[in-house]
């Protein structure tokens, strides 16, 4: 009996693939971007870096009608393979959800390979994915001259607080990074919007224990100062 649900989807779940046969194991790799430098009279030193991207590789097969696992499949094996190939070619952002690992990530397909064995209608595949992050480039304010006295007007600092409307690919970490300059402040946003996040999670059929890990496009969050 399959207890883990692995779902891949694009375009806010307009197209969905739930893996009919789960990989025997699932592993995520996440590097920390520390930097080693060599200093005179000290030797090597390790400088702390930010969190790197997450990577995973899923390997399994799409069962044919002759397979006992076909009862878990919603599509024929060649259709599964065609969808993944189309997503990769279109550079689609894929939402990867793994039910029992609290994984809900926007990812890109780095590599997709598939094969068939002689006399076997199953399609065996390996798909490699890497985390997708949007680039939030801050705007640059240029000092302007005040008429009459030639003095330069200092730009005002960026305002804190306000609201943020969740879009596809957002994470609480990313919203915190955009709002405060540090993703580690995400608990502040979660605490201020807990009711909204939990209500949205319940409306999508998620359990209360997962509420902090599920956010949905269209929700409007208060960004506390």
Q: 183-201, pLDDT tens digit by residue? A: 888 888 888 888 888 888 8
Residues of the chain with pLDDT under 50: 154-159
Instruction: Note the pLDDT of residue 143.
Output: 62
pLDDT at 187: 87
Residue given tokens 């002759």 in the structure block: 66
pLDDT at residue 195, as a whole number: 86
What is d(CA 26, CA 102) in angstroms, rounded to the nearest whole number? 13
CA distance 66 to 75: 13
Say how far apart CA 56 and CA 128 lie, in whole Å.
6
What does the pLDDT look like over 127-136, one tens digit per residue? 999 999 887 7
**Domains in the chain: ranges and CATH:** 6-131 (2.40.30), 160-222 (3.10.350)
pLDDT recorded at residue 155: 43
Beta strands in 21-102 (DSSP E): 28-32, 35-39, 43-47, 51-62, 94-98
- DSSP letter at 114? E
Q: For position 23, what pLDDT does the model report?
A: 95
Give the DSSP H or E segment for 176: helix 172-180
Name the average pLDDT for the chain: 86
């Amino acid at each position: 009996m399959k207890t883990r649900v692995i779902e891949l989807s694009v375009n806010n779940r307009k197209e969905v693939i739930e893996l009919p046969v789960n990989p025997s194991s699932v592993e995520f790799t996440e590097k920390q971007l520390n930097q080693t430098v060599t200093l005179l009279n000290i030797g090597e030193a390790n400088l702390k870096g930010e969190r790197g991207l997450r990577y995973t590789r899923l390997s399994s097969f799409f069962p044919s009608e002759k397979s006992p696992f076909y009862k878990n499949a919603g599509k024929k094996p060649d259709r599964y393979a065609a969808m993944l190939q189309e997503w990769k070619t279109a550079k689609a952002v894929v939402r990867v959800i793994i039910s029992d690992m609290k994984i809900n990530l926007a990812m890109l397909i780095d590599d997709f390979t598939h094969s068939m064995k002689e006399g076997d209608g199953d399609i065996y595949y390996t798909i490699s994915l890497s985390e997708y992050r949007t680039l939030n480039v801050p705007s640059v304010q240029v000092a302007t001259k005040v008429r009459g006295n030639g003095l330069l007007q200092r730009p005002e600092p960026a305002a804190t607080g306000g609201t943020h409307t969740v879009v596809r690919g957002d994470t609480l970490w990313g919203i915190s990074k955009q709002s405060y300059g540090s993703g580690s402040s995400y608990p502040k946003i979660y605490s201020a919007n807990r009711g909204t996040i939990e209500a949205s999670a319940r409306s999508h059929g998620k359990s209360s224990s997962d509420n902090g890990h599920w956010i949905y496009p269209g929700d409007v969050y208060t960004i506390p100062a």
